[in-house]
């Protein structure tokens, strides 16, 4: 009997387990269909998931539903933004609601590894606003839209990453490694939601200012929920931000879609200065555990009122530090006597009524005091500022106060500056109504470290402040090997500070013995130094700068260029640099430049410059300038000196090299003295003409016009003389090294070698046979077509024109001489004949004359044609 009972229980238990395992398969298709229908009916977004798992055993008494790799992507303006990418979305459904099939009650939701990006555009449109409106829904009721009902008891987020990016407010909150859970009965109108949060990395920015930067947050926060009135109240709680513990009490309510009603108070529950310092990222990351801090710290405030697009709640925030001290273990000195009292308040929510007041702050770096004050009022309508800063600091003392690895810092900074007045006085140039005065001095400043490629040294510098300008006097500085001596003034710094779109203007004079641009811009390791123009990077001209500078640098090193005596004027304006009579010496010659370089469109930087080059070494120019290598490859085989005037414009690549297809250039080149030798097209021409002298050309005072368009160098006709040979050259060559040149050659026949000997022999033979004394011209004209490429040129010679005309002239002269001789003999023979045979003899003589003429003509033509055919084959 006992065995039957045991086996009965076991059998029933097994049947229950089998039933629990089978139930998910029975309802899976039905649930999945309900999910897809609900998404299609209610969501305006691209929603996709890899697969769905349904289980009962692990979630009993609930039915577990798991969506794997759920992705939600917005439409239109948010088509490239992924709203949610969730590794696993777990829903626990009330089992009986699933069995009944009328609706699916969701008891809990768990998000595993969610990546959520909540974005708000400047227009206020949010990417999570994806629910379809009533107008988009079907006209007939659809039960699928209400199939899933929320009856939450619990929700959680595990290992999440959540970003809230609100461009309309200029606010960003980035939460990484988020673990959060909440329990409460959401089926009730009134209940308490108990939440626990642990976020490893919190960053919060407003107006690009990081108020929290990589801060750790943990909180146990119970919230009294009034869902009917959408009011949420906070009781006793603790919020940990790094080492700082805050408490928040009060309520937040959302009475409608546009308003948020706040009534909150907050304060720091532990008043140790070290807890506050833990929020400062640089301090917290720099051996915070080794920091010994003391002093009284207080932080409290409230926010009360309505937040919406038109108003803010009234608020008041107070911060104070009394008798503070900071000292790192193992370092001899400390920051002493820290006294700060600050208040930010707004009585009514009108932003222009906000007041920032720091009536006094002071501290001492060891024994060197620094103190000041700050007051800001009416920040929107007409900002008013009243500030002062005074102190004298031995920078070397900082290394005895703060742990500084891999760096050296020394020098003296002496500051005493004050400013007071309204922005409107600056806007109206009423400087008498705005007070600004004081100066900052620097002496023997030295800074070296990993953050700078080369040591920075300032022997002396002086900044003098007035309402109109800041005067820079006697800046004597070195960065690495480069030295600077500068004087000048910044003329509208207040307008620049108060107005974002106002350019900062100034005038400067800069002198230097050496400016090593490669060292200032490039890597420190010489083996990694830039060796080619292709390795340069784009130099971005800053915006909102209007500086005029006179420059006098004895030596400038830039890329492979060693430049001497650079003098001229530079105007930096509208993200462009303008050159005015900038003269320098380089590549063995002198350069004068006028023009501009702009990065208004950083993707397409542009240069437009007029160059004047005087007596520049051709080989040095070829070795240093890639543009010459590509567009004038003959320079590789040329030794000598040239001058040119060149108008050059081009788009630039990101490596500062020209976009060759965009080059537009024209100029006049003067080859003062040069020798061209080893140039393969010349070797080809010399072989074709059987004249080795042409392999080497000596050029003197050669002038030629040229232009560069569509990536080709086009050369206007110019003459070259080599001994008794005269060549007229014109054509073009391209970036692909292709040649397309026409040469008109006028040369003595005697220089044709064996071909000329054959021509002389033929003419002599003809003269002997027919008793004439005919000669041809001593010079011959030849057209040469150079094609192919620089390394594999092709040559075509056209000898037909002048030589054929010359051959025709020889034949005509021979025929004319022989005709005159025959006519004389015929007349003498006719006189001896009788009168009766005169007519017959005349006819016979005419026939004989014609036959003789044709025979001589044909014989001469055949011999000359054979000669010229042989001549062509030889060339």
Kindly report the length of the chain: 875
CA distances from 447 to 415, 478, 811 (A): 19, 11, 94
**Domain annotation covers residue 266:** no
CA distance 172 to 167: 8
Vertex 192: Cα angle to 187 and 193 (nearest 5): 85
Structure-block tokens of residue 829: 């023979």
CA distance 429 to 506: 16
243-274 residue pLDDT tens: 888 889 999 998 887 889 999 999 987 678 88
CA distances from 111 to 117, 181, 269, 455, 561 (A): 14, 10, 33, 52, 61
CA distance 135 to 142: 14
The shares of helix, strand and coil residues in the chain, as percent rounded to the nearest 5, are 25, 50, 25
Band of pLDDT at residue 76, cut at 50, 70 and 90: confident
* Residue 762, CA atoms < 13 Å, CB-side half-sphere: 23
Vertex 472: Cα angle to 470 and 478 (nearest 5): 145
**Domain annotation covers residue 321:** no
CA distance 133 to 125: 15
Residue from 500, 493, 601 nearest 170 by CA? 500
Residue where the block lists tokens 């004079």: 509
Where does a domain end: 647, 677, 707? 677
CA distance 42 to 510: 67
Band of pLDDT at residue 830, cut at 50, 70 and 90: low
Q: How many domains in the chain?
A: 4
pLDDT at 838 over 60: no
* Residue 340, CA atoms < 13 Å, CB-side half-sphere: 21
Where does a domain end: 677, 697, 717? 677
CA distances from 44 to 40, 116, 176, 600 (A): 8, 17, 28, 39
Is the pLDDT higher at 17 or at 109? 109
Q: Cβ distance 326 to 340 under 8 Å?
A: no
808-825 residue pLDDT tens: 555 555 555 555 555 565
Where does a domain end: 510, 529, 557? 510
Q: Could you write out the DSSP letters of every residue in 411-424?
A: EEEEEEEEEEEEHH
Residue from 646, 714, 634, 715 nearest 677 by CA? 634
pLDDT at 242 over 80: yes
**Domain annotation covers residue 269:** no
CA distance 131 to 768: 112
**Domain annotation covers residue 277:** no
**Domain annotation covers residue 438:** yes
- Tell me, yes or no, whether 760 and 823 share the same domain: yes
- Tell me, yes or no, whether 519 and 631 share the same domain: yes
Mean pLDDT taken over the chain? 81
CA distance 434 to 870: 97
Structure-block tokens of residue 98: 């699933």
Residue where the block lists tokens 């928040």: 248
Question: Of 408-412, 472-476, 773-777, where does mean pLDDT reach its minimum?
Answer: 773-777
CA distance 252 to 102: 36
Question: Of 85-89, 226-230, 757-761, where does mean pLDDT reach its minimum?
Answer: 757-761
Q: Which domain holds residue 450?
A: 405-510
- Tell me, yes or no, whether 549 and 662 share the same domain: yes
Percent of the chain scoring above 70 in pLDDT: 77
**Domain annotation covers residue 571:** yes
- Tell me, yes or no, whether 460 and 603 share the same domain: no
* Residue 650, CA atoms < 13 Å, CB-side half-sphere: 23
Helix (H, G, I), strand (E, B) or coil at 805: helix
- Whether cis (ω within 30° of 0) applies to the bond prior to 857 is no
360-418 residue pLDDT tens: 999 999 888 999 999 999 998 999 999 999 999 888 888 888 888 778 889 999 999 99
- Tell me, yes or no, whether 74 and 8 share the same domain: yes
**Domain annotation covers residue 770:** yes
Structure-block tokens of residue 851: 């036959």
- Tell me, yes or no, whether 652 and 759 share the same domain: no
Structure-block tokens of residue 657: 């090299």
**Domain annotation covers residue 867:** yes
CA distances from 332 to 323, 391, 675 (A): 19, 21, 73
- Tell me, yes or no, whether 502 and 561 share the same domain: no
- Tell me, yes or no, whether 534 and 637 share the same domain: yes
Residue where the block lists tokens 């200065």: 273
13-41 residue pLDDT tens: 444 444 444 445 555 566 666 666 667 67
453-466 residue pLDDT tens: 788 999 999 999 99
pLDDT at 524 over 70: no
Q: Cβ distance 192 to 225 under 8 Å?
A: yes
pLDDT at 308 over 50: yes
Band of pLDDT at residue 533, cut at 50, 70 and 90: very low
**Parallel, antiparallel, or unpaired: how do β-strands 739-748 and 779-788 relate?**
antiparallel
pLDDT at 755 over 80: no
- Tell me, yes or no, whether 864 and 823 share the same domain: yes
Q: What is the pTM assigned to this prediction?
A: 0.62
Vertex 346: Cα angle to 341 and 351 (nearest 5): 125
Across 534-557, average pLDDT: 84
Q: Could you write out the DSSP letters of every residue in 121-174?
A: -TTS-BTT--BPPGGGS-SS--GGGGSEEEEEEEEEEEEEEEEEEETTTTEEEE
Structure-block tokens of residue 370: 């620094």
What backbone phi and psi angles, to 5 degrees, belong to 602?
Answer: -65, -20
Q: Could you write out the DSSP letters of every residue in 585-613?
A: EETTEEEEEEEEEE-SSTTS-EEEEEEEE
- Tell me, yes or no, whether 522 and 669 share the same domain: yes
477-518 residue pLDDT tens: 999 899 989 999 998 888 888 776 778 899 999 999 999 988
Q: Cβ distance 676 to 683 under 8 Å?
A: no
Confidence at residue 632, expressed as pLDDT on a 0 to 100 scale:
86
- Tell me, yes or no, whether 506 and 524 share the same domain: no
pLDDT at 132 over 90: no
Residue from 127, 114, 116 nearest 68 by CA? 114
- Tell me, yes or no, whether 538 and 673 share the same domain: yes
636-678 residue pLDDT tens: 899 999 999 989 999 998 878 888 888 888 999 999 999 999 9
Across 149-159, average pLDDT: 81
Helix (H, G, I), strand (E, B) or coil at 836: coil
Q: Cβ distance 460 to 443 under 8 Å?
A: yes
Burial of 224 (C-beta count, 10 Å sphere; 0-12/13-18/19+): middle
């Amino acid at each position: 009997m006992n065995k039957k009972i045991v086996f009965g229980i076991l059998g029933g238990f097994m049947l229950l387990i089998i039933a629990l395992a089978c139930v998910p398969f029975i309802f899976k298709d039905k649930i999945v269909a309900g999910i897809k229908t609900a998404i299609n009916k209610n969501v305006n977004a691209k929603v996709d998931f890899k697969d769905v798992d349904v289980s009962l055993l692990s979630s009993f008494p609930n039915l577990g539903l798991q969506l794997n790799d759920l992705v939600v992507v917005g439409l239109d303006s948010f088509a490239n933004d992924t709203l949610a990418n969730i590794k696993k979305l777990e829903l626990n459904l009330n089992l009986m609601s699933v069995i009944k099939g009328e609706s699916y009650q969701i008891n809990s939701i768990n998000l595993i590894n969610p990546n959520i990006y909540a974005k708000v555009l400047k227009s206020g449109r949010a990417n999570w606003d994806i629910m379809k409106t009533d107008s988009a829904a079907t006209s007939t009721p659809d039960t699928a839209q209400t199939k899933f009902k929320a009856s939450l008891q619990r929700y959680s987020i595990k290992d999440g990453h959540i970003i809230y990016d609100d461009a309309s407010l200029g606010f960003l909150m980035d939460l990484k490694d988020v673990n959060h859970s909440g329990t409460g009965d959401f089926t009730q109108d009134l209940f308490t939601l108990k939440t626990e949060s642990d976020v490893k990395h919190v960053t919060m920015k407003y107006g690009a200012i990081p108020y929290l930067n990589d801060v750790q947050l943990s909180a146990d926060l119970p919230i009294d929920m009034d869902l009917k009135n959408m009011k949420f109240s906070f009781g006793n709680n603790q919020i940990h931000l790094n080492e700082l513990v805050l408490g928040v009490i009060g309520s937040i309510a959302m009475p409608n879609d546009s308003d948020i009603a706040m009534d909150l108070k907050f304060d720091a529950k532990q008043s140790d200065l070290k807890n506050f310092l833990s929020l400062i990222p640089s301090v917290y990351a720099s051996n915070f555990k080794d920091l010994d801090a003391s002093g009284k710290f207080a932080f409290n405030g409230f926010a009360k009122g309505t937040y919406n697009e038109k108003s803010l709640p009234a608020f008041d925030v107070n911060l104070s530090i009394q008798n503070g001290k900071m000292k790192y273990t193992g370092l001899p000195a400390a920051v002493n006597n820290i006294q700060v009292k600050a208040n930010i308040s707004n009585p009514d929510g009108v932003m222009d009524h906000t007041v920032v007041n720091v009536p006094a702050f002071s501290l001492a770096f060891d024994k060197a005091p620094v103190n000041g004050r700050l007051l800001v009022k009416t920040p929107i309508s007409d900002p008013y500022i009243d500030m002062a800063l005074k102190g004298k600091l031995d920078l070397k003392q900082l290394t005895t106060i703060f742990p500084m690895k891999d760096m050296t810092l020394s020098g003296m900074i002496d500051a005493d500056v004050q400013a007071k007045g309204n922005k409107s006085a600056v806007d109206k140039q009423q400087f008498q109504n705005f007070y600004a005065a004081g100066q900052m001095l620097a002496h023997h400043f030295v800074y070296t470290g990993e953050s700078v490629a080369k040591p920075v040294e300032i022997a002396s510098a002086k900044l003098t402040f007035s309402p109109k300008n800041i005067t820079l006097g006697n800046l004597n500085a070195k960065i690495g090997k480069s030295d600077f001596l500068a004087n000048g003034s910044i003329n509208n710094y207040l307008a620049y500070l108060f107005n974002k779109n106002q350019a900062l203007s100034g005038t400067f004079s800069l002198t230097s013995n050496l400016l090593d641009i490669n060292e200032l811009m490039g890597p420190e390791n010489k083996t990694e130094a830039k060796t080619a123009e292709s390795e340069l990077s784009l130099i971005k001209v800053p915006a909102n700068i209007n500086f005029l500078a006179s420059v006098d640098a004895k030596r400038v090193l830039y890329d492979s260029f060693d430049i001497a005596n650079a003098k001229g004027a530079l105007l930096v304006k509208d993200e462009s640099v303008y050159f005015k009579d900038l003269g320098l010496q380089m590549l063995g010659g002198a350069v004068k430049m006028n023009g501009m370089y702009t990065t208004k469109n950083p993707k397409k930087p542009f240069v437009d410059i007029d160059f004047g080059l005087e007596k520049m070494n051709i080989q040095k120019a070829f070795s240093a300038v890639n543009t010459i290598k590509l567009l004038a490859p003959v320079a590789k085989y040329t030794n000598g000196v040239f001058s040119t005037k060149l108008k050059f414009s081009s788009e630039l690549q990101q490596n500062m090299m020209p976009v060759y297809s965009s080059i537009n250039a024209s100029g006049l080149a003067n080859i003062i003295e040069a020798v061209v030798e080893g140039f393969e097209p010349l070797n080809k021409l010399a072989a074709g003409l059987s004249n080795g002298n042409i392999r080497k050309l000596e050029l003197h005072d050669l002038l030629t016009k040229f232009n560069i368009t569509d990536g080709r160098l086009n050369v206007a006709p110019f003459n070259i003389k080599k001994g008794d040979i005269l060549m007229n050259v014109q054509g073009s060559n391209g970036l692909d090294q292709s040649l397309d040149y026409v040469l008109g050659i006028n040369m003595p026949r005697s220089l044709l070698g064996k071909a000329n000997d054959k021509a002389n022999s033929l003419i002599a033979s003809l003269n002997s046979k027919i008793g004439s004394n005919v000669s041809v011209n001593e010079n011959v004209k030849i057209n040469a077509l150079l094609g192919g490429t620089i390394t594999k040129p092709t040559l075509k010679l056209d000898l037909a024109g002048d030589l054929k005309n010359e051959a025709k002239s020889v034949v005509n002269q021979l025929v004319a001489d022989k005709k005159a001789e025959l006519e004389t003999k015929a007349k003498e023979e006719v006189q001896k004949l009788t009168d009766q045979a005169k007519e017959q003899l005349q006819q016979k003589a005419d026939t004989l004359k014609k036959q003789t003429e044709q025979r001589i003509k044909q014989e001469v033509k055949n011999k000359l044609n054979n000669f010229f055919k042989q001549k062509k084959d030889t060339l």
